[in-house]
Amino acid sequence: MGRIGELDLPERLAPYAPAWMAQLAFALMCIGAAAVMRFLIDRIVPGAGAFALVYPATLIATLFGRWLAGLVTAIALLLLSWYFVIPYYGSFDLANPADGPRIAVVTLSNLLMIAIAEQFRQAVRRAATERDRQIAERDLFLEEFDHRVKNNFALVASLLDMQRRRAGDPATSDALAAALTRVESIARAHRHLYRGAASPGTVDMAAYLQELCAALSEALFLRGAITLTCDSDHAALPRDRAVSLGLILNELVTNAAKHAFEGRETGAIRVTFRAREGGWTLSVTDDGRGVPAGKSRKNGLGQRLVEAFANQAGGTIATESGPRGTTVKVELAA
């Protein structure tokens, strides 16, 4: 319905019928519809508005079937109205001599309306063509831009991975590995911008978080003994908030994998993202040993990053920890 003004029936039917045939067929449809309405009106108020239906039928025929359809519709309906509606009924003779000039004026008015409607129709077609050309150029630009950004992310990730492999110091290697996972988290959010999100510039969080968790599980070797599961509602979040949540998830899961299961061979990490009234909740829960009493990691880089990303996303963090595990929740307002 949004593009009904751009409807061109001869063009739409071009694969099935020549343009002139489509125009004549549409003209016959408009003539038939007007004739039926004229018949119904005459049952109630005979002869009222003899040429009233000629104008809308001619306008519709011209706008959607081009000028030939409008001209055929106008001529046919003028003749039908003259013959059947204006006295003498069933004859082209006129009971009132003043009807002759009236018919001439109505005819000229319809011809003028056909000319104006045809110019309007062509202007709409030109505007639509120009709009489609600009959209095609924009899509081509975005596709090229997307391709270049993907290549840049891949290059940065490759450089970090190469440096990580060459690093002799374990601490340096761990730091580069953490930076690599952060870059990959941003890259995944970027990729999901082009996967049919609900609106431009948004990310489907269910697909994004599932893919991110799968990548983290592989990168951190969370297989068999230690498992990582993800359960997310579908929600379309702006790109910047999605990236921030992805980086928060990356930090929390990495931290849990490294510290929550010391001295244990089994464990589970569960990620959930739920829509709630007024916003969303991201939760990362592990069944590890919890944060030992008197020990805090608030001054660590990972904790500072989580807090910074949460502020950037417009959320608040709440942490619950005990002997049976740790839960970190990020509450986001809509």
Residues 1-29: tens digit of each pLDDT? 456 667 888 888 888 889 999 999 999 99
189 found inside a domain? yes
130 and 178 fall within a common domain: no
Residues forming a β-bridge with 320:
327
Highest-confidence range of 110-124, 240-254, 278-292, by mean pLDDT?
A: 110-124
Helix (H) or strand (E) holding 231: strand 226-232
171 and 66 fall within a common domain: no
Say what the pLDDT of residue 176 is. 86
CA atoms within 13 A on the CB side of 149: 17
Residues 183-228: tens digit of each pLDDT? 877 777 667 665 554 566 788 889 889 988 888 887 776 656 788 9
Say what the pLDDT of residue 1 is. 46
106 and 216 fall within a common domain: no
pLDDT band of 167, cuts 50, 70, 90 = confident
- Least confident residue range of 57-71, 100-114, 183-197: 183-197
Q: Are 220 and 254 in contact (CB under 8 A)?
A: yes
State residue 233 phi and psi, 5-degree precision.
-75, 155
* Identity of residue 287: D
Distance between CA atoms of 155 and 172, rounded to whole angstroms? 20
249 and 206 fall within a common domain: yes
Q: How far is CA 274 from CA 166, 202, 234, in A?
A: 41, 17, 8
Distance between CA atoms of 145 and 194, rounded to whole angstroms? 12
226 and 274 fall within a common domain: yes
Give the mean pLDDT of the chain. Answer: 85
316 and 173 fall within a common domain: yes
186 and 123 fall within a common domain: no
200 and 114 fall within a common domain: no
210 found inside a domain? yes
185 and 329 fall within a common domain: yes
115 and 253 fall within a common domain: no
Please give the residue range of the domain that contains residue 114: 4-134
308 found inside a domain? yes
The domain tally of the chain equals 2
* Identity of residue 136: A
Kindly tell me if the per-residue pLDDT of 298 is higher than 70: no
13 and 115 fall within a common domain: yes
145 found inside a domain? no
**CA 297 to centroid of chain Cα atoms:** 42
pLDDT band of 144, cuts 50, 70, 90 = confident
44 found inside a domain? yes
Averaged pLDDT, 138-149: 80
Percentage of the chain modeled with pLDDT above 70: 91
156 found inside a domain? no
160 found inside a domain? no
The CATH number covering residue 244 comes to 3.30.565.10
Distance between CA atoms of 77 and 63, rounded to whole angstroms? 17
212 found inside a domain? yes
> Which of 82, 110, 134 is at the close of a domain?
134
Kindly tell me if the per-residue pLDDT of 106 is higher than 90: yes
63 and 193 fall within a common domain: no
